[in-house]
Amino acid sequence: MSRLVVVSNRVAPIQEGEATAGGLAAGVLDALKQKGGLWFGWSGEITATSEAKPSLERSVGQITLFTVDLSRKDYDEYYRGFANDTLWPVLHYQIGLGHFEWTEFEGYRRVNELFAESLTPLVRADDLIWVHDYHLLCLADGLRARGLTNRIGLFLHTPFPAPGVFMTIPSHADLIKAMCAYDLVGFQTEIDRTAFVDYLLRHADGVASDTVGAVSAFGRLVRTGVYPIGVHVDEVRAQAETPVNRRQATRMRANLMERLILSVDRLDYSKGLRQRFAAFERFLAEYPAQHGLVTFMQIAPPSRSDIETYQRIRRELEGEAGRINGRFAEVDWVPLRYLNRSFPRNVLMPLYAEAQACLVTPLRDGMNLVAKEYVAAQDPDEPGVLILSEFAGAARELDAALLVNPYDEAGMARAMDQALSMRVEERQERHQAMMKIMRTNSLEQWRDRFEADLRAE
């Protein structure tokens, strides 16, 4: 069978024998481990000049990792600029936060070209190329320009917004044209897929093909599909249950109050942290009987901290956490614990299992794996309650969660109260329904279905 070539902005820092990471890294690694192959991406190094010369990073088992370095200018324009300060906010419907510069878009294209130039000599004729995420929308275009006729697929981990939102990016037409150089474009939900197809049909003279989900545009046939990313359900539960870790988590619980509401996110404005803090404040104000009993723990390691919008949200949250605690804390009770760091999975999963409720309330999210990990980590006899934003991709599958609108503070406060007082029978019923879907849409399914569709004639 042909080799798999995976391309993403960064390659995961994998070592032999190490436990698997979450999300993209876990899914990609599994696929590569099975069949062997190559993983290509940015090294994370910033050098004086970018050079289209891939270096062999390392080989782990049958997997070979190749990377390229970026120059400061490339990093600023491609990564910090267009990818994370223009595309990311717009893909998450945050038009007001998107900042566009043509020079940064040119930098984005230049780095996509650099990736194409470096990768081309490493690719064999029958390799299957699987590209990940919004950083590399133009990569297939660059590979085609260099004569590659391989199957090339893109999986977008983020949402794809309604055409009217996407078109606020001045270079939207260039991006869409470049995306049509892929053979298959995969999305997390049907909403995202439909938005992309809608753009092609209404704004790019696209014509729907007889093949389901395929559209002819710019002289090519691009297929589309929905592949909701999942988690290794049994692995998560096993990590949550490991006695030594559980002891650690139980000790942690002893330091908390009777009831724990947990949130775990990268510190990102799309995750709705500000609105969530406000909802918790509303909850404390409206449900005084919970005072002294409940702790809300927000774990949020900083990300992309060299971008101004991220620095701003961090400052705001620090201020809000202090203010809310100042307003409600007692000598023996601190209602909100705000932790700006990441934790190993063998600490995080047992902590999920200890929490009576998990608040996952992004303003928009491609999928949100924390929601799925939380459900998978629960004890089936005594499960906690997931409170989930209707704007997370995960809500399309996990509709047995308590679904909330993250802009509705009062609604979220009500959901917190409902979660903490829910009878065990109802919790079990909701948990079983979600587990059933998560077993069907597992991480293995995500990987196998995307690969099979990319391979298919």
Active site residue ranges: 157, 365
**Of residues 115 and 160, the one with the C-beta less far from ligand ADQ:** 160
Q: Which of 32, 63, 176, 229 binds ligand ADQ (CB under 6 A)?
A: 229
CA distance 55 to 52: 10
- Within 13 Å of residue 279, how many CA atoms lie on the same side as its CB? 28
Residue 240 in the binding site for ligand ADQ (CB under 6 A): no
Residue 89 in the binding site for ligand ADQ (CB under 6 A): no
Closest-by-Cβ residue to ligand ADQ is: 22
**Of residues 75 and 450, the one with the C-beta less far from ligand ADQ:** 450
CA distance 179 to 225: 14
Q: Which of 6, 24, 195, 279 binds ligand ADQ (CB under 6 A)?
A: 24
**Of residues 198 and 235, the one with the C-beta less far from ligand ADQ:** 235
Residue 365 in the binding site for ligand ADQ (CB under 6 A): yes
Q: And the tokens for 348?
A: 């995080």
Instruction: Return the range that interacts with ligand ADQ (CB under 6 A); candidates 253-261, 263-271, 283-291, 329-337.
Output: 263-271
Amino acid at 410: A
Residue 38 in the binding site for ligand ADQ (CB under 6 A): no
Q: Which of 367, 375, 398, 420 binds ligand ADQ (CB under 6 A)?
A: 367
Residue 368 in the binding site for ligand ADQ (CB under 6 A): yes
Q: And the tokens for 271?
A: 């995750």
Q: And the tokens for 274?
A: 């500000």
**Of residues 110 and 304, the one with the C-beta less far from ligand ADQ:** 304
Residue 140 in the binding site for ligand ADQ (CB under 6 A): no
β pairing state of 259-264 and 357-360: parallel
DSSP 333: B
Beta bridge partners of 172: none
Beta bridge partners of 318: none
Residue 386 in the binding site for ligand ADQ (CB under 6 A): no
Interface mask (CB under 6 A) for ligand ADQ, residues 187-226, using x and -?
----------------------------------------
Provide, rounded to whole angstroms, the least separation between the CB of residue 268 and ligand ADQ.
Answer: 7
**Of residues 6 and 367, the one with the C-beta less far from ligand ADQ:** 367
CA distance 169 to 52: 28
CA nearest to 155, candidates 189, 125, 122, 123: 189
Q: Can you tell me which residue has the tokens 């049907």?
A: 190
Residue 249 in the binding site for ligand ADQ (CB under 6 A): no
Q: Can you tell me which residue has the tokens 């000598």?
A: 331
**Edge to edge, what strands does the sheet with 184-187 contain?**
55-60, 63-71, 37-47, 4-10, 128-132, 151-155, 184-187, 220-226, 214-217, 207-208
Burial code (b: 16+ CB inside 10 Å, e: under 16) for 14-49 equals beeeeebebbbbbbbbbbbeeeebbbbbbbeebeee
Instruction: Return the range that interacts with ligand ADQ (CB under 6 A); candidates 199-207, 324-332, 340-348, 398-406.
Output: 340-348
Residue 94 in the binding site for ligand ADQ (CB under 6 A): no
State the CB neighbour count (10 A cutoff) for residue 347.
Answer: 15
Residue 301 in the binding site for ligand ADQ (CB under 6 A): yes
Length of the chain: 457
Angle, helices 23-35 vs 443-455, to 10°: value is 60
Provide, rounded to whole angstroms, the least separation between the CB of residue 447 and ligand ADQ.
Answer: 12
Instruction: Return the range that interacts with ligand ADQ (CB under 6 A); candidates 75-83, 102-110, 238-246, 259-267.
Output: 259-267
Q: And the tokens for 241?
A: 């249950």
Q: Which of 110, 172, 266, 455 binds ligand ADQ (CB under 6 A)?
A: 266
Residue 8 in the binding site for ligand ADQ (CB under 6 A): no
Residue 299 in the binding site for ligand ADQ (CB under 6 A): yes
Provide, rounded to whole angstroms, the least separation between the CB of residue 360 and ligand ADQ.
Answer: 8
- 3-state SS class at 393: helix
Backbone CA torsion sign across 45, 48, 49, 53: negative
CB 438 within 8 A of CB 372: yes
State the CB neighbour count (10 A cutoff) for residue 375.
Answer: 30
Residue 154 in the binding site for ligand ADQ (CB under 6 A): no
Instruction: Return the range that interacts with ligand ADQ (CB under 6 A); candidates 34-42, 53-61, 365-373, 426-434.
Output: 365-373
Residue 9 in the binding site for ligand ADQ (CB under 6 A): no
Residue 302 in the binding site for ligand ADQ (CB under 6 A): no
Instruction: Return the range that interacts with ligand ADQ (CB under 6 A); candidates 11-19, 363-371, 403-411, 426-434.
Output: 363-371
Contact residues for ligand ADQ, defined by CB under 6 A: 22-24, 157-158, 229, 264-266, 299, 301, 342-343, 348, 365-370, 373
